[in-house]
Amino acid sequence: MKYALVVKNVSKQFDDADQKFSFKKILNKDKFNAVIDVSFNIKEGEIFGVLGPNGCGKSTLIRMISTLLVPDEGSIKIFGKEIGKDDAVIRNMINRVSVEAAFFKKLTAWENIIYAARLYGLSKEDTKKKIDEILDELNFPKNRINLPMENLSRGQQQKVAIARAFLTSPMLILLDEPTTGLDPKSKMDVQKFIKKVMKERKNVGILLTTHDMNEADNLCNRISIMSDGKIMVQGKIEKLKKKVHVKDVYEIKTDKSIMRVYNFLSKIKTIENVLRDGRKIRFYTKNINLVLADLSKLLARNKLKLIYLKSVSPSLEDVFIILTGKSLEQDEK
């Protein structure tokens, strides 16, 4: 079995912006660790997800893999070719889609696509046939292809960026939040397309970052969860969910005054991560028995009716919250 990507002990520091003109910078003291000792690999045919809150280092990692940034430490290999040694070959093997995709804004979508296709040596006819197919699958409105990029909606631009990346049959595809900002239907179109490509091209590897837990659950074989530049945990999604199961996830609903229940649960030491989700509350505890007596007193005192208290199976989001103490959805707002 071949590895599409092997990342070994990679670290990256940036100069701390606040220290731009200080002596500390001259002395090389104040550096910011954006990526710290990160290692993982992606097999051929695999979609690997990297999840983590804003600023945890996902895009920095992807920029290093796409030869746009030089790592301070560690090594990166793409199908056996090493970054720093075989960069020209590597650039032909990879393609990246990011939220800030670069286009010629005044040129049309088609002109941007054909420009990229020429760089990769594709003929106009081949490009036309292939791009029609891809844009169809992404449900991109055909009559927009001859509009300047700057006149396309953000979601439409994102679809053109995705189509452009998949056009040239790259061997490693780096998708940095490919569906952020897309409407639910477009999101599904893109996910369906990614799945289809992986079925057809068995030797491709995909690295995908996302803030959407359902997306990771739907697309990825394995994931890494990053926080502050480090990998907190990685592995198969099912296995990660099992890890959380020992902690036990509960959901409670009462007929009214849900905030009172929320405040009560938040103060209990044996309970972690109390989250309000509309009229329900979700929380984690290793021993529900320690809570029950006080909880029933609270309900009686406030004349609250318990609609249910049940143990629920953990979602990928629960794994994330327990490991990082942060909610991805809160980060996005």
**Chain contacts with ligand ATP (rule: CB under 6 A):** 14, 32, 34, 52, 54-60
Binding site partner of 156, from Mg ion, ligand ATP, none, Cβ cut-off 5-8 A by kind: none
Q: Which is nearer to ligand ATP, 61 or 145 (CB)?
A: 61
Q: Which is nearer to ligand ATP, 55 or 84 (CB)?
A: 55
Binding site partner of 285, from Mg ion, ligand ATP, none, Cβ cut-off 5-8 A by kind: none
Q: What's the min distance (Å) between Cβ of 43 and ligand ATP?
A: 23
Q: Which is nearer to ligand ATP, 213 or 274 (CB)?
A: 213
Q: What's the min distance (Å) between Cβ of 184 and ligand ATP?
A: 20
Binding site partner of 57, from Mg ion, ligand ATP, none, Cβ cut-off 5-8 A by kind: ligand ATP
Measure the CA–CA gap between 197 and 209, rounded to whole angstroms: 17
Interface with Mg ion in residues 37-76 (CB under 5 A): 58-59
Task: Pick the closest to residue 138 from 109, 114, 117 (CA basis).
Answer: 109
Binding site partner of 120, from ligand ATP, Mg ion, none, Cβ cut-off 5-8 A by kind: none
DSSP-assigned letters across all residues of 262-302:
HHHHHH-TTEEEEEEETTEEEEEES-THHHHHHHHHHHHHT
Size of the site for Mg ion (CB under 5 A): 2
Where are the strands (E) in the chain, listed by range? 3-15, 31-43, 47-51, 73-78, 81-82, 94-97, 172-176, 205-210, 222-227, 230-236, 249-254, 271-277, 280-285, 306-312
Q: What's the min distance (Å) between Cβ of 165 and ligand ATP?
A: 18
Binding site partner of 115, from ligand ATP, Mg ion, none, Cβ cut-off 5-8 A by kind: none
Binding site partner of 205, from ligand ATP, Mg ion, none, Cβ cut-off 5-8 A by kind: none
Q: What's the min distance (Å) between Cβ of 56 and Mg ion?
A: 9
Residues 6+ away with beta carbon under 8 Å from 44: 1, 2, 3, 4, 202, 203, 204, 205
Q: Which is nearer to ligand ATP, 294 or 332 (CB)?
A: 332
98 lies in the binding site for Mg ion (CB under 5 A): no
179 lies in the binding site for Mg ion (CB under 5 A): no
Read off φ and ψ for residue 50, nearest 5 degrees. -120, 120
Binding site partner of 56, from Mg ion, ligand ATP, none, Cβ cut-off 5-8 A by kind: ligand ATP
Measure the CA–CA gap between 90 and 84, rounded to whole angstroms: 10
Residues 6+ away with beta carbon under 8 Å from 148: 105, 106, 107, 108
Q: Which is nearer to ligand ATP, 214 or 270 (CB)?
A: 214
The CA radius of gyration of the chain, in Å to the nearest whole number, is 23
Measure the CA–CA gap between 79 and 43, rounded to whole angstroms: 9
324 lies in the binding site for Mg ion (CB under 5 A): no
Q: Which parts of this chain interact with Mg ion (CB under 5 A)?
A: 58-59
